[in-house]
Amino acid sequence: MRSQLHQLELVYPPISNQEAEWIKDDPAVQEQISKSNLYFIGQKPETFFLFPPDEEIDHNISQEGKLAFQILCGVRTSFCTLDINAMYDFYGVPDDVNLEFEMGEKNIRIWRLDGDRPEIFDWFTTEKLIFDRSRGKPFILGFDDFADFFTYNLHYVGISKSQTSFERLIVQPHDKRLRILSNEHPLNQGSRVTDEMILFFFRIKSQEMKQYLIDSDFDQLGKNELEDHLRIIADAEKAYVYVIDTKYNEVKFKEYPLSTDGLASSTLNRIAYLIDENITFLTDLVSLVSKRDKLFGSELYADFIAIDFDDNTVELFKA
């Protein structure tokens, strides 16, 4: 019996549609996002940073080595602190290096001033801060309710088999991206849809498990179809569209798990898909609650999609 587990992992922090326009010519961003062939498009109320008065910021940084601020998303408000001393330790930078702080309602940039010209020490958009907190960065204090801010209405699931997600979704005109911009209403009064639309870039981590229960199972000894990455990507898209029923995916793959380009024609018996991030996606019919590194554990499980090719069944298992 052959089974596979496929985990979706973000290759880059989520970015807004507006931010995608700003960073699309950055080689470092291109390199990271180009590791993805599977992408989601979601939406949530525009998120902002709110800082105390300048004199309070200066005092807290100089005396306590901390930058404290609020995070606002729709009706939600939370408090967060960046521990600057812990950041020195985390990045292995001497604590006598002078830093300069640049803060706005959507961005935080921290510059180090020990070279011929300033260099980035660290940076945060609102989504990157939430992403870093979800990954347990030790210098981000408080913000224990980050999961409430890492929740999105999911509009579309897409793949790019012949190109990367970066080329398919950002560089070239993308029909569904444009339709969402044209048709959806802002969730936050005074916001633009381009600031609320969030793009997610995933790669798939896969592993295969074999059980030798009967003599014929040994016929599969040494066989492994994990290298057929395009079929895995194609199957993953169909599984999520079939289960989640996203609004802008016009093709619903109603015959799934049967398909011509997915995994139905393989010798696999069972597969499972889950998102290996602390993130929640919502549609009108389904919620998909995911937890990083929590597929198996005594306290918490992640939602996952299970497919049995022997019975041609698909089921969403809830945490």
Write the DSSP string, 283-309: -SS-EEE--TT-SS-SS----EEEEET
The dihedral built from the CA positions of residue 170, 176, 177 and 178, taken in this order, carries a sign that is: positive
Nearest alpha carbon to residue 271 among 225, 213, 227, 222: 225
pLDDT at 290: 94
Residue 55 tokens, joined: 């004199």
pLDDT at 294: 61
Bridge partners, residue 76, by sequence:
73
Per-run averaged pLDDT (10 residues), the chain, 319 residues: 90 95 88 93 97 92 94 96 96 93 96 91 97 96 96 96 86 90 94 96 87 54 65 95 94 94 88 95 94 63 91 92
Nearest alpha carbon to residue 155 among 169, 176, 141: 176
Residue 117, SS3 per DSSP:
coil
Tell me, yes or no, if the pTM score tops 0.85.
yes
Bridge partners, residue 77, by sequence:
72
Nearest alpha carbon to residue 275 among 251, 250, 240, 245: 240
Residue 148 tokens, joined: 């409430």
Residue 85 φ/ψ, nearest 5 degrees: -60, -40
* Amino acid of residue 55: E
Q: Please, are residues 66 and 82 in contact by the beta-carbon 8 Å criterion?
A: yes
Nearest alpha carbon to residue 123 among 238, 239, 29, 1: 29
Which range marks the domain in which residue 71 is found?
48-127
Q: Please, are residues 95 and 79 in contact by the beta-carbon 8 Å criterion?
A: no
57 found inside a domain: yes
Residue 31 tokens, joined: 């390199």
194-146-62 Cα angle (round to 5): 95
Counting the structural domains of the chain, the total is 1
Tokens 């969403």 correspond to 316
* Amino acid of residue 171: V
* Helix or strand run (H / E) with residue 123: strand 119-125
Q: Is 286 left (phi over 0), alpha (psi -120 to 50) or beta?
A: beta
CA separation for the pair 216, 1 (Å, rounded): 9
102 found inside a domain: yes
96 found inside a domain: yes
pLDDT at 298: 47
290-294-298 Cα angle (round to 5): 130
Bridge partners, residue 72, by sequence:
48, 77
pLDDT at 213: 56
315 found inside a domain: no
- Establish how many alpha carbons lie within 13 A of residue 230's alpha carbon, considering only the half-sphere containing its beta carbon: 7
- Establish how many alpha carbons lie within 13 A of residue 16's alpha carbon, considering only the half-sphere containing its beta carbon: 19
pLDDT at 220: 54
215 found inside a domain: no
